[in-house]
Structure 1
Amino acid sequence: MRRIPILLACLALLVPALAGARTMQARIARVDTPVATLEEVRLRVDWPADAAVGDLQVWVARADAADLGYRWRDLHWRCPLRRAEDAGWRCAGALRAGNGAPLQLEVAFDASSTHAALSRGGARVALERDAASPDLTTLDLRQVPVAWVQALVAQAWADARLNRGTLAGRLLVTAPSGGALRVEGPLRLRDVALETADASIAAEGVGADLAIRYRSAADAAAVDVDGQLRGGQLLAGNTYVALPETPIGLEVAARRATGAGWRVPRLAWRDGAALQATASLAFDTAGALTRMHVDARSDDLAPVRSRYLSGWLGLAGLGELDLHGALQVAAEVDAAGLSRIDARLQGVDIRDPAQRFVFDGLQGDLRYSAGAAVESALAWNGGKLYGLEFGEARLPFASADGVLRFREDARMPFMGGRLTVHDVVIRPPRGDAGADIRFGLVLDDVDFGRVSQVVGLPAFQGRLSGAIPNAHYANERVDFDGGLSMQLFDGQVVFTSLALERPFGTAPSLGADITFEDLDLLRLTEVLGFGSVTGRLDGRIDGLRLVDWTPVAFDAWLESDPAPEVPQRISQSAVQDISSVGDASFVTSLQGRLIGFFDDFGYRRLGIGCRLANEVCSMSGLPHSHQGQGQGAFTIVQGAGLPRLDVVGYNRSVDWPTLVERLRAVGSGEVAPVVE
């Protein structure tokens, strides 16, 4: 299609007048045809007397086919010219535009018809025109590189860049003088790759069998496409589509008027049970979406994630989400964002392969409105959150003015107790504002032993209760007001300043402050495997930060809290364990060889601290260092009575991974004492 009509228009006018002369030249300032305008045209024929073949050359300084989007400079064609039947002419030779690589142009025409073919390698564009219908041109495309139609595509989509692929088909091009340009016919695409200038839209390896209809007039343009897609990948913004090898039905109708953006009154997508969807869209002159209505249905959600949702889910760290069940959804979007959604779920299961969450048996409907009030209700059979099990629940929703909220509290069984979610207010992204979620939580009599087992802690026993009156999610971060309190080892543990970043994304991060009051040391050390220590324990962990659930920073301090009628004794095995963890030795007034005769010792005070930063734990102990043990020494256990025994630390900087290994060694019993 690229250069054929331009040269044919020139040849049809001039070659019959030139042939038969020894040498003849012609200069034409301008040639106007329905397809193109040519300027500064020169022809030269050299035809020796009595020769059967002449030499034809054509030069065109400028050629513009505005409706097709093509403009060339310095065209030159040279070929052996010969007569054909019916007073016609034939010529075949190299066609060049400037310094570009040549193409082979073959032309045959007579008074009633014109035939031409442009080729390079296996690519070929053949053209046919009949004098009886001068406005109609038939194009036969075979293995044509998509780059050859870049200019034509740019007429409808200026930002698109065709990078790879081939076209084949038979197109009818109608270009009446002063009328609308029309292109229609079947078109086959194979291995097509394209992208826009800003890379927001791209395609790779796409195949298609389509019927196209394109119309371009001075005041409007229209594109209609109907057919099937076959394999490949598509990207539009954050939407990534991996097309299956099975055919997907596609129907597109797009319209544009002068001074207005494109409208797509119909877009249909047919992918079997995975997805059936219809949509209408409108864009402004800058290409921004101003309106969209979508009706979609999936009777089998299993392939939907990998084919259509991986781009969006990947942003949230959920690229491998496992989906099952059925879903129907109708949604509307305006220039500000989502304005309406009406979704119905049937037996939907959502499972994160990383076991961060599971929702089983989602059933019901979910409605959101940026305007008038609507109500809905969603229920599930149960699920898990980071391994913590919750039971069935019903979520009653109401929505109006861009807000989705609970109509009443939602209660569900949770790890042997009960979880209540209340005051839920959800604002989906709209305009320049991102998603914003607010809610409250109440935990009542949760079995902390079950929780400990799930999260990999020792077999703690206790009940967890507490309330978080306000929690706020925005910008991938959840901040919690209030706190949680837990009755543990006859004492209390309180969590405050809770904050969670990227809860389901890459490297989730948790921040908290924790305080301990009056924990029973005997029960605690028995569970931890730290020998036997009697007494009470207070403490704090300030600025705790976990990244991917691994500690990276905190400032911790634990110390004994004398209580009336509670003896403070420490067993020899506990001394050994504490010495191992604290990188310490124990010091006694008796000879080291006599220590083994005593099972336990009295102590006056016990205290140990660790400030973690950059994988180094800065250790500390009781305020008064043990005399005679060096300036860097610090006391962990201050003995009392006879035999008196102190545990003293010497290394204030301990590698955190090493400290963790020591704790593991204590649990396995692989500890030996160091006596001084």
Structure 2
Amino acid sequence: MPAAWVEALVRAGWPSARLTAGALDGPVRITASTDAPLRVEADLDVDGLALETEDGSIAADGVGADVRVALALPDDAVEAHIDGSLRGGDVLIGTAYIDLPDAPVAMGLDIARAGDGEWNLQRLHWHDGDALRVSGNARLTSDLGIGALDLTLRSADASALPERYLSGWLGMSGLAGLSLTGGVGAAILLDAGTLRRIELDLAQLDVGDAAGRFRFDGLDGEVRYSASTPVRSAVTWQGGALYGMPFEAAEWRLDSGQGALRLREPAVFAFLGGRVGFETLQVQPPTGAAGLQMQTALRLDALDVGMMAAALDWPAFAGTLSGRIPTVRYADNRIDFEGGLTMDLFDGSVEVSSLSIERPFGVLPTVTSDLALRGLDLHALTGVFGFGSIEGRLHGRIDGLRLVDWNATAFDAELHTERTPGVRQRISQRAVQDISSVGDASFVSTLQGRAIALFDDFGYRDIGISCRLRNGVCRMGGLRSQGNTFTIVDGAGLPRLDVVGFNRDVDWPVLIERLAAAAGGDVAPVID
């Protein structure tokens, strides 16, 4: 019998449902009398069932089932008891997407509803082998929002969970393709839309991001959250990696009560040849309209920038990264860092401030920050980038840096040299050529024509260059600007050599190509 033939009966208890495809086979007994509620009992074999609600919040397609149904419709109420198994097909409930396996999944459900009131799921049972077992009860609002929940979940083999049960939520969070290996269990108590208790048990659980952004190995222990009574727990990991950079084992000892999860004592672990320390941590689960919130104090001690550069396929930087960030806040899919970090690089320092990250694991992650450069050794810096050779000390700033999907879209940068006692200020011919190519410039010398090629390097008084990036165009500047020209290098001594730019507006992609060509040595001099 086509499933659509019984749609009227289904809509008597579920008015917004529509059966759009499928076939039913099996005995159905309907009992109707004037002094008793309508009752329906059925033992059905269901094939290829498809249904949807009017608002699209619930849908199913291609579902097979063997179910026993007992339905009663007393007055304006609904009582239903369903037991059996589901096999194959897809189910969508809100943002949850379930890809049912071909093997039968045992299920049981007792439902009661009066009028247009809440749906009471007095019994909820789900058994999908070692992948997932669920038992408990729930109360749904009239529009199928969660009013109350008391569930126990267990997965002895979590490898099937991401694809079978979690893909909807993971996709919305930018974590599509997440892998799980090991065991996990949970107990969840929610009442009046407020989370009251969570008990999470991890059994040698490995978590891996498909894009390689993070990995956790051997998560083990318990995480306990309570909205009222104080509880304690502890969880460990054996190691992992962040963007390909490995970190070592750590233990997190936790307290909870009054609606927050807190770190009982600092958690410290080895990372990039140094150490990362979480001095404090407070996590508040979603409540009402507010999403997940987190706050921590973070310390970084002597992280090896060279190891970081190698892992991220950057130029071969050398130095350390240290600092303390007194407050790191996460809310509304955004991380804000209050405080600063200092990177000791090239015998100088780079200070990072006003750092924030939007959608850190989502689509088009966006980073904003300000940077201050102090006393970088230009000889070491230009050597790393293959940018000729410059001796001197570099200072400057990069304000309003904005990266979208890790590509620069805006910043206001200014870099310059400062005279330092005991430090020579010399620039090689190769570096002059590279600067000229990047700045769309030529160089002016006291020597004529190709006689300049007789000299390997030159003295300089000052070097300065700036770029204000907006809408894909870099507005260039230098030590001095006049009209469409700007001075990048002020020469000193004999032969005197100045580098002057003649185009202040440069397309950002073109500038990037020039930088790449300069680093590869693929430039030729332009002499005025």
The bucket for the TM-score relative to the shorter chain is over 0.9
Contact 2:89 2:99 in 1 (8 A): yes
Offset of 1:420 from its aligned partner? Answer: 0.3
Q: Residue in 1 aligned with 2:63?
A: 206
Offset of 1:386 from its aligned partner? Answer: 1.9
Q: Deviations over 1:144-200 (max 9, x none)?
A: 222221111112112212222222211111223311222112112221111112111
Q: Residue in 1 aligned with 2:485?
A: 633
Q: Residue in 2 aligned with 1:175?
A: 32
**Partners of 1:458 and 1:183 in 2: CA distance:** 72
Structure 1 residue 233 and structure 2 residue 90: aligned? yes
**Partners of 1:622 and 1:286 in 2: CA distance:** 65
Alignment of structure 1 residues 55-454 onto 2, 5 Å: 144-218=1-75, 220-257=77-114, 260-285=117-142, 287-454=144-311
Of the three residues 465, 478, 488, the one matched with 1:608 is 465
Structure 1 residue 569 and structure 2 residue 403: aligned? no
User: Which amino acid in 2 is paired with 1:243?
Assistant: L
Of the three residues 373, 385, 392, the one matched with 1:535 is 392
Higher relative contact order (CA 8 A, sep 6+): 2
Q: Residue in 2 aligned with 1:672?
A: 524
Offset of 1:304 from its aligned partner? Answer: 0.6
**Partners of 1:180 and 1:428 in 2: CA distance:** 44
**Partners of 1:260 and 1:507 in 2: CA distance:** 42
**Partners of 2:455 and 2:76 in 1: CA distance:** 102
**Partners of 1:387 and 1:581 in 2: CA distance:** 32
Aligned residue for 1:173, secondary structure, equals: strand
Offset of 1:545 from its aligned partner? Answer: 0.6
Aligned residue for 1:434, secondary structure, equals: coil
CA distance 1:286–1:548, change in 2 (3 Å): closer
Offset of 1:246 from its aligned partner? Answer: 1.1
Structure 1 residue 498 and structure 2 residue 350: aligned? no
Of the three residues 342, 360, 363, the one matched with 1:485 is 342
Offset of 1:353 from its aligned partner? Answer: 1.2
Q: Deviations over 1:334-383 (max 9, x none)?
A: 12232211111011111111111111110001111111111111110111
Of the three residues 489, 495, 515, the one matched with 1:643 is 495
Q: Deviations over 1:458-514 (max 9, x none)?
A: 111111111111011111111110010111111111000000000011111111000
**Partners of 1:260 and 1:669 in 2: CA distance:** 74
Aligned residue for 1:460, secondary structure, equals: coil
Offset of 1:262 from its aligned partner? Answer: 2.7
Contact 2:28 2:41 in 1 (8 A): yes
CA distance 1:286–1:353, change in 2 (3 Å): closer
CA distance 1:588–1:339, change in 2 (3 Å): same
Offset of 1:637 from its aligned partner? Answer: 0.5
User: Which amino acid in 2 is paired with 1:166?
Assistant: A
Structure 1 residue 656 and structure 2 residue 513: aligned? no
Structure 1 residue 545 and structure 2 residue 402: aligned? yes
**Partners of 1:458 and 1:224 in 2: CA distance:** 65
User: Which amino acid in 1 is paired with 2:239?
Assistant: G
Aligned residue for 2:373, secondary structure, equals: strand
Offset of 1:444 from its aligned partner? Answer: 0.4
Structure 1 runs of 4+ with >4 Å offset: 257-260, 284-287
Unaligned runs of 5+ in 2: none
CA distance 1:609–1:284, change in 2 (3 Å): closer
Unaligned runs of 5+ in 1: 1-143, 626-630
Aligned residue for 2:499, secondary structure, equals: strand
CA distance 1:234–1:337, change in 2 (3 Å): farther
Aligned residue for 1:302, secondary structure, equals: helix
Q: Residue in 2 aligned with 1:83?
A: none
Q: Residue in 1 aligned with 2:411?
A: 554
Q: Residue in 2 aligned with 1:516?
A: 373
Aligned residue for 2:390, secondary structure, equals: coil
Aligned residue for 1:575, secondary structure, equals: helix
State TM-score, norm by structure 1: 0.76
Aligned residue for 1:618, secondary structure, equals: strand
Q: Residue in 2 aligned with 1:17?
A: none
Of the three residues 517, 525, 529, the one matched with 2:382 is 525
Offset of 1:257 from its aligned partner? Answer: 4.2
CA distance 1:563–1:273, change in 2 (3 Å): same
Q: Deviations over 1:531-553 (max 9, x none)?
A: 11111110100000111111111
Contact 1:335 1:431 in 2 (8 A): no
State TM-score, norm by structure 2: 0.97
Offset of 1:433 from its aligned partner? Answer: 1.5
Q: Residue in 2 aligned with 1:587?
A: 444
